[in-house]
Structure 1
């Protein structure tokens, strides 16, 4: 086969050679610097998604400010102090993600996001303004926006974690290429096609095409990201027969097999109300069965013509046949003189009895959820208008994990559906899954929608917003993003130290209650904690500024207190930047 030629590569290499010759002939440093920039552009990647990169105001803001979290204690939800805490993070999600990178790097099992679709219908705001058809770089702005967030999202995922991204066809093609680049094309798992409305539901009369489908792209972080496929439940309903031997049968050899023959009155066949693993299944020995398996062939070759020898209504117990848990199978001969058909009774196949041996079915990639989308207006007790997703959709993704103690992140939380999906999953199976929600408070969405839904769930509202007997027991902390200016006035270190407590709570999904869980930032605080007593203390967070004495270590060990080091890495990068000012 002839070697294919990459014409673009050949042309690029020729241009690079000419540039190198030019640089050797020119002494002007400014011109050489310009030629170096041209060379850099020529050597950039030439396959994949290419766009004009844009900087956001929120990104620029972090150049001179350090984002931190401040807890709003008035909005804290506590149902059961023994449960782990969930978190609602108010603020631009880029700031929240930067902070989560300090507390949850490699710790998130599932990320689900429903980002703006960039439909130019006032759904995507960039730097405090909605994009329109007049914007020259409408796709580039959206891609820059998503790229920054998805890069951090990948860092947050566990090695076996998954990300699910809802989208429609406005940006689906661009998003697929971006995710192939960020997560790796080999880690692409699936695209779900979700029917979100019925064919006869008109969106706008002036639309040329009626849109019914949205997509959900699924990527794993690594090759370890393998969805847990639930095994099919084997149906035992038809294994509802039992045969009782009332007397001993006549033993003989038929077809080189040991056979016991029972006459009428020597046995009894019972049909049970329900099937079971130990039951027998009744099968007619006729038609294709006579050629299709060993039992059918045995009946055809050796039992079908024996009514003249053994009589009518005979039961045959044939040993060493079949593949079930018994070493025999029962056969019945014809019941009437003019009949030729019979039956046989088999147990549950052996491969259905072994643990984890049930077959699994491939995951479908299409779901009709038009009815669910049509009924979600008041789901969770909040009216969210367009863009809201049903709980059923998010629960579908939670099932990717068999474990019940996973952490789920949604950094376009909006209506708070993800929180309800997590809580319903816990309610169904007693799990301890945790959620982290991030959303801004534009038009008070965080307070009036996301947080309101959490309050409703805690108070026990059903999907239509009406009071029910069921309330969701969970704990949740409400954090707001704030900023500390990067100045060299000597105050940054102490101000950051004050905000570390929030990050500790977030990382460990706990409360620092100063009873069961305590914190010591210096030796004086450590001495005070020892003096106050440790009878209730289970965990103690200790700063690297604390130097435990051997006596203190022994006391902590005697009380069974778990010592957890407060990481130095929380704001290490930011402090280095401040030092360089």
Structure 2
């Protein structure tokens, strides 16, 4: 770059020189630095359940195959015409090549970036937290969505854009095993582009995730191992340039997992991406037992200890501060601190400072090697703390002749406010008497190395999953408590938080959110997105039995239906997949029988791809009804049908209203004002109109506390806008 600048400067013609310099500045301004990878375009998803129409993008199924997902690899084609009588379709590609194939070999395809028209179809519910008959005290519903996660994220933009409090994901690790797909094909270690494909795969999803996160205060948590750790870190830095990113290492397998020709793996990593003001809160959990100043390796709380008043470690030299080098006056006979002198400017010899008061000595901050250090506070703050009893004197060291000096930090005072520490008056030296509160644990800052036995993925992942789903296998499930504690740092103080996991796997994240609610009575809710892929080994076994994708027997063995839904159902009900009470108990933070389950509600959905020709609001409202319900908080009843005669709907068991006919706004507003006290409190109103002016007019007449959203008469526009803004 410097060489190019020199060459430009050597151009003699001043106008040409400045013109070239200006153009080069434009180019260099947009040059990509940092992580560079081949952005494989595009990803696509095969949709055998969607009816093919003229103008659709499609792929061609291998001739003779009964699996609609087995395509011939010729790429994506555009349907030019369909001859239903002959059962033929005319296709063309981007280069103008045309082919004619049997219509039953043509499979609908959506490339990422194309507008999609999503809906949700309920496939079942579990209700244990109220929710029947619009119970006003009911908990909100968790949601589990069976879908390709990129399109699920696009669909979730409508109800949740900019509102998600935490995203926890455990993406495929790209270890070389055939455990993830790109464009419907498994990626293995022989693929020379597997790293760039993985980055392309993650890049698209993380950019959507960023739009879903609350920009003011939220967190993205990514679990990852060493195979893609550093690439993922760089990718996240590019997508979240304003965010602080911190890595934590978690001990998940103390015995180590054997890897050929490598060290045995004992750990994995968590990347915490702090969006806006998000920061890890202090919690009562101990991520690294045995090193905490608050508790021992057995988890027993240690006696309260005051903070040393002399600064140690970094920035502890006199020259590192301007106002924290001063003498503390000590009455040695009384063994009491009586005050301090003024801070001494740098360069002034401390021996020239005014003498200590009669009967007192002056103790300066001096290191063991005789060099000058500094205190933790300024002289002004010290005097204030001394008056408040927040300064304490210890014993005199017989070797050095120096007294121990200690103080209460702002963190200590916050712990007193929280009731974790108690003050029992003052001692004879005037210092506060502080002790641990009975029955309370002190909160502390988490560390970057997590070694708590709770995070063992075998004991609290695989073995726990077997208790929930006897006989069913899932590779490498996370420890429930590792996910729970990772979330606790960010949503422990947000009882109504919304948590998203779009690599839902076995459903550990939903289980962890239910546990958090169980511990403090919270109403947090999770949204879990997972697909219903069948593993390669299971696919082989099913084919030998004569089954193919789409058959009930095949779909029943997919991740969502065989693992995710049954696991979450078992966790909430306390009944395992074999129909028996779950053996064992939850440990750590709160001990309780697993058979008790949780007072939670959850609903299961399939993502649907709606036909643009049939999607006028009056004909397919039921497809978008769950999305409106989710946006309104996923609590109480759902408005699944249109009452076109009345022009609006606001049943007593729903916490939202839908206005279909703006001319009936007055009637709806009057009805809401007279709503029965036993009914759900209305928090959201959806106004169906293509006119922004009409929407604003209705919104201005509604209670300002209500959340008011516009829904276009043809809801295609509502979701098409989201899709086209992607990227």
TM-score for the superposition, normalised by structure 1: 0.68
- In the other structure, the counterpart of 2:80 is none
| 1:46 paired to 2:32 | yes
CA shift at 1:469, angstroms? 4.2
CA shift at 1:47, angstroms? 1.0
8 A Cα contact 1:69 1:479, kept in partner: no
CA shift at 1:149, angstroms? 0.5
- In the other structure, the counterpart of 2:450 is 367
CA shift at 1:119, angstroms? 1.0
Evaluate the alpha carbon distance shift between residue 465 and residue 47 of structure 1 in structure 2; reply closer, same or farther with a 3 A threshold: same
CA shift at 1:215, angstroms? 0.9
- In the other structure, the counterpart of 1:568 is 710
- In 2: Cα distance, 1:256 partner to 1:53 partner: 71
- In 2: Cα distance, 1:162 partner to 1:494 partner: 38
- In 2: Cα distance, 1:255 partner to 1:43 partner: 69
Evaluate the alpha carbon distance shift between residue 48 and residue 553 of structure 1 in structure 2; reply closer, same or farther with a 3 A threshold: same
| 1:149 paired to 2:205 | yes
- Alignment deviations for residues 466-506 of structure 1 (CA, whole Å, 9 cap, x no partner): 275411121111111121244xx575555553422110122
| 1:466 paired to 2:462 | no
CA shift at 1:552, angstroms? 4.6
**Structure 1 stretch displaced more, 129-138 or 493-502:** 493-502
- In 2: Cα distance, 1:398 partner to 1:549 partner: 42
- In 1: Cα distance, 2:398 partner to 2:162 partner: 59
Which of 152, 169, 182 in structure 2 is aligned with 1:113? 169
| 1:182 paired to 2:239 | yes
Superposed counterparts of 1:134-283, under 5 Å: 134-158=190-214, 159-184=216-241, 186-199=242-255, 201-204=256-259, 206-222=260-276, 224-230=277-283
* 1:72 match: secondary structure: strand
Superposed counterparts of 1:303-452, under 5 Å: 326=425, 329=428, 347-349=432-434, 361-368=444-451, 372-375=456-459, 376-380=461-465, 381-382=468-469, 383-401=472-490, 402-443=493-534, 444-452=558-566
Evaluate the alpha carbon distance shift between residue 236 and residue 326 of structure 1 in structure 2; reply closer, same or farther with a 3 A threshold: farther
* 2:201 match: secondary structure: helix
* 1:189 match: secondary structure: strand
- Alignment deviations for residues 105-161 of structure 1 (CA, whole Å, 9 cap, x no partner): 111111100000111111221122221333232111111110110011111111210
- In the other structure, the counterpart of 1:501 is 625
* 2:645 match: secondary structure: helix
Which of 51, 56, 69 in structure 1 is aligned with 2:43? 56
- In the other structure, the counterpart of 2:127 is 78
- In 2: Cα distance, 1:47 partner to 1:13 partner: 24
| 1:553 paired to 2:698 | no
* 1:141 match: secondary structure: helix
CA shift at 1:558, angstroms? 2.1
- Alignment deviations for residues 56-115 of structure 1 (CA, whole Å, 9 cap, x no partner): 113944566624233234x21111211111100001101110011111111111110000
CA shift at 1:49, angstroms? 1.2
Which of 445, 457, 466 in structure 1 is aligned with 2:571? 457
8 A Cα contact 2:615 2:716, kept in partner: no
* 1:400 match: secondary structure: helix
| 1:292 paired to 2:403 | yes
- In the other structure, the counterpart of 1:334 is none
Consecutive unaligned residues in structure 2, runs of 5 or more: 46-108, 132-137, 285-292, 296-300, 306-332, 337-391, 407-422, 535-557, 585-593, 687-708
- In the other structure, the counterpart of 1:264 is none
| Higher-Rg member (1/2) | 1
Over the residues paired in the alignment, what is the CA RMSD in angstroms?
4.4
8 A Cα contact 1:522 1:543, kept in partner: no
8 A Cα contact 1:107 1:157, kept in partner: yes
8 A Cα contact 1:542 1:563, kept in partner: no
- In 1: Cα distance, 2:636 partner to 2:159 partner: 16
8 A Cα contact 1:378 1:465, kept in partner: no
- Alignment deviations for residues 199-251 of structure 1 (CA, whole Å, 9 cap, x no partner): 4x4524x32332222111110122x1122223897979689xxxxxxxxxxxx
**Structure 1 stretch displaced more, 489-498 or 159-168:** 489-498
- In 2: Cα distance, 1:577 partner to 1:114 partner: 25
* 1:348 match: secondary structure: strand
* 1:432 match: secondary structure: coil
- In the other structure, the counterpart of 2:605 is 479
- In 1: Cα distance, 2:210 partner to 2:458 partner: 33
| 1:6 paired to 2:6 | no
CA shift at 1:547, angstroms? 2.8
- In 1: Cα distance, 2:657 partner to 2:478 partner: 39
- In 2: Cα distance, 1:41 partner to 1:138 partner: 30
- In the other structure, the counterpart of 1:301 is none
Evaluate the alpha carbon distance shift between residue 164 and residue 62 of structure 1 in structure 2; reply closer, same or farther with a 3 A threshold: closer
Which of 149, 152, 160 in structure 2 is aligned with 1:96? 152
CA shift at 1:403, angstroms? 2.0
- In the other structure, the counterpart of 1:336 is none
CA shift at 1:12, angstroms? 10
* 1:112 match: secondary structure: strand
8 A Cα contact 1:413 1:437, kept in partner: yes
Evaluate the alpha carbon distance shift between residue 62 and residue 189 of structure 1 in structure 2; reply closer, same or farther with a 3 A threshold: closer
* 1:404 match: secondary structure: coil
| Number of corresponding residues | 459
- In 2: Cα distance, 1:12 partner to 1:138 partner: 40
- In the other structure, the counterpart of 2:705 is none
- Alignment deviations for residues 389-427 of structure 1 (CA, whole Å, 9 cap, x no partner): 011111112222322221111110111111111111111
8 A Cα contact 2:396 2:403, kept in partner: no
TM-score for the superposition, normalised by structure 2: 0.55
- In 1: Cα distance, 2:572 partner to 2:9 partner: 64
* 2:489 match: secondary structure: coil
